[in-house]
Amino acid sequence: MNRRDAVEIRERPLPTGHDDLPAGLSPLLTRIYRGRGVTRADELDYRLNQLPHPASLQGVDTAARVLADAITAGQRILVVGDFDADGATSTALAVRALHAMGADRIDYLVPNRFQFGYGLTPALVEVARSYTPDLILTVDNGVSAHAGVEAAQAAGIGVVVTDHHLPGESLPGALAIVNPHIGSPDFAGRHLAGVGVCFYTMLAVRATLRERAWFSAARPEPALVDNLDLVALGTVADVVPLDRVNRLLVEQGLRRIRAGQATPGVLALLNAAGRDPARANAMDLGFGAAPRLNAAGRLDDMSRGIETLLAGDRPEADERATSLEALNRERRALERGMRETALADIEAHAEAAAGEMAPILCLMADDWHQGVVGIVASRLKERFRRPVVAFAPADNGELKGSARSIPGLHMRDLFEALDTRSGGSLILRFGGHAMAAGLSVRSEDFDAFKSGITELAREWLGDEPAEETLWTDGILSPQDYCLETASTLRYAGPWGAGFPEPVFHDRFLVREQRIVGVDHLKLRLSPLGANRQAIDAIAFNAVDNGFSQVPEEIEAAFRLDVNRYRGVDRLQLVIDYLAAA
**Cα→Cα distances 199→144, 168, 203, 204, Å:** 21, 24, 6, 9
Residue 331 counted as domain residue: no
- Count of domains observed in the chain: 3
Q: What CATH number should be reported for the domain holding residue 496?
A: 2.40.50.460
Query: Is the domain of 440 the same as that of 413?
Result: yes
Query: Is the domain of 363 the same as that of 273?
Result: no
Residue 128 counted as domain residue: yes
Residue 459 counted as domain residue: yes
Tens of pLDDT, residue by residue over 46-65, are 999 999 999 999 999 999 99
Tens of pLDDT, residue by residue over 296-322, are 998 989 999 999 999 999 999 999 999
pLDDT score of 314: 96
Residue 45 counted as domain residue: no
The three-state (H, E, C) secondary structure of 227-294, written as one string: HHHHHHHHHHHCCCCCCHHHHHHHHHHHHHHHCCCCCHHHHHHHHHCCCCHHHCCHHHHHHHHHHHHH
Query: Is the domain of 400 the same as that of 513?
Result: no
Mean pLDDT of 128-132: 97
Peptide bond into 27 cis (omega under 30): no
Q: What CATH number should be reported for the domain holding residue 314?
A: 3.90.1640.30
**pLDDT surpasses 80 at 80:** yes
Tens of pLDDT, residue by residue over 361-382, are 999 999 999 999 999 999 899 8
113 versus 162: the higher-pLDDT residue is 162
Query: Is the domain of 429 the same as that of 555?
Result: no
pLDDT band at 2 (very low <50, low <70, confident <90, very high): low
pTM (predicted TM-score): 0.92
Query: Is the domain of 158 the same as that of 218?
Result: yes
Q: Please state, rounded to an integer, the average pLDDT across all residues of the chain.
A: 93
Query: Is the domain of 488 the same as that of 537?
Result: yes
Residue 351 counted as domain residue: no
Report CA torsion sign: 143, 147, 150, 155: negative
Query: Is the domain of 121 the same as that of 256?
Result: yes
Residue 332 counted as domain residue: no
Residue 474's CB is within 10 A of a number of other CB atoms, namely: 18
Domain boundary, last residue among 397, 431, 466: 466
- What is the span of the domain harbouring residue 384? 357-466
pLDDT score of 154: 97
Tens of pLDDT, residue by residue over 518-542, are 789 999 999 987 667 899 999 998 8
Tens of pLDDT, residue by residue over 394-449, are 978 999 999 999 988 999 999 999 999 999 999 998 887 788 899 999 999 999 99
Query: Is the domain of 224 the same as that of 256?
Result: yes
pLDDT score of 309: 98
Residue 533 counted as domain residue: yes
Query: Is the domain of 454 the same as that of 474?
Result: no
Q: What CATH number should be reported for the domain holding residue 427?
A: 3.10.310.30
Query: Is the domain of 205 the same as that of 262?
Result: yes
**pLDDT surpasses 80 at 544:** no
Query: Is the domain of 207 the same as that of 219?
Result: yes
**pLDDT surpasses 60 at 4:** no
pLDDT band at 545 (very low <50, low <70, confident <90, very high): confident
Query: Is the domain of 378 the same as that of 518?
Result: no
Residue 2 counted as domain residue: no
